[in-house]
Amino acid sequence: MASTTYSSKKEPRPMAGNLLKALYQELEEGTFRPVYLIFGEESYLIRQCRERLKTALMAGGSDMNFNRYQGKEVQVPQVIDQAETLPFLAERRVILLERTGLLKSGGDELAEYIKDMPETTVIIMAEDEVDKRCKLYKAIDKIGKCLELCHGDEKSVSGWVGSRVKKNGKQMSNSAYLLFRESVGDDMELMDKELDKLLAYCMDRDVITEDDVRAICIRQITTEIFKMTDAMVAGNRKEVMKRYFDMVEMQESPMYILTMLTRQFRLMLETKDLLQNNMVKQDVMSKMGMGPYQADIYIRQSRGFSREYLEKAFRDCVDTDYRIKSGLIDMKMGVELLLTKYSSGRG
């Protein structure tokens, strides 16, 4: 499914695929930086990039020249001592720092050190949280390479899925791909796991079908909530209740469904406000931490409701949650009454 294109005055973030392509080209040419910082939304790409860097930098050398430090308890002086140690029978020593939090606070000492670090040492940092204003980020950006790996656009994701399928000697119908994306969402880590299951399930066949996806891929509750709110936009009460009972059949609690529906209305309301302030898809992705596939859905759905309707629905969800937890109404009855109220039209 192709993403809708929106014009934007804001400079878009480079696509992860382009960043990685440029990096891998450098590595093949033997061009190495003293420090690499990898961060962003896409844990799958971060893991892949981390391993590619380690392999290229170690060049088949012994793990004696590789050190890994993880977590926020890492001691910078210890890292510096290791960085000062010459590699043993190899060109370089490689130090991997993961989820240290140093790009949020406490990284000033390392920022000063890397300016005059031995040429025989390379540091790779893979972080969850990064403040681009901090001293360490600026130091890395000046002498090394910073790679922010975000969710890919639909073209790059479909190309990646197609490549995985083709390498295994199979084909996937377009309708099966769309159902796969609808079921799994934007996260490539999850897509990778679900593709492994799907390919194993279809081991004796050449073509992956919609039925295969339905049979093997997990159905995310967020997907069902998206479908439910689509039905609300259309005023299709029968479809709204069908989606609800499907989720109950999947062993989802009505209370959890209410929590997810409350979140859905809140996010649609926030999206609506961004759009009304002349913001575009890239802004929605950046400000709300969404991938392009999800952003397309929230933009489309928020346009199907008035702001007043979304605000009232959100408040009614919160009120229903309170009344259930206070024992003023039965959980099942409370959720079903709410769904009936908001499944008759857009308001």
pLDDT in tens, the chain (347 residues): 333 222 233 333 445 667 888 899 999 999 999 999 999 878 888 998 999 999 999 987 778 999 999 998 999 999 999 999 999 888 999 999 999 999 998 999 999 999 999 999 999 999 988 999 999 999 999 999 999 987 766 777 888 899 999 999 999 988 899 888 877 777 788 888 889 999 999 999 999 999 998 888 766 677 788 888 888 888 899 999 998 998 888 788 899 899 889 988 999 999 999 999 888 888 888 788 777 777 888 899 999 889 999 999 999 999 999 999 999 999 999 999 999 998 875 54
Give the DSSP letter of residue 4. P
For residue 316, the surrounding DSSP H or E stretch is helix 307-325
Output the pTM of the full model. 0.60
How is domain 16-148 classified at the architecture level of CATH?
Answer: 3-Layer(aba) Sandwich (3.40)
CB-based contact 151:43 (threshold 8 Å): no
Fold of 221-341: Zinc Finger, Delta Prime; domain 3 (1.20.272)
Long-range Cβ contact pairs of 133-137 (< 8 A, separation 24 or more): 134/103, 134/104, 134/105, 134/107, 135/107, 135/108, 135/111, 136/102, 136/103, 136/107, 136/108, 136/110, 136/111, 137/37, 137/103
* SS3 (DSSP) at 76: helix
* SS3 (DSSP) at 293: helix
Beta strands in the chain (DSSP E): 35-39, 66-70, 93-98, 121-127, 145-148, 171-172, 207-208
CB-based contact 150:42 (threshold 8 Å): yes
Closest CA to 126 of 85, 68, 182: 68
Please report, for the chain, the start and end positions of each structural domain, with discontinuous segments joined by +.
16-148, 154-216, 221-341
Fold of 154-216: Helicase, Ruva Protein; domain 3 (1.10.8)
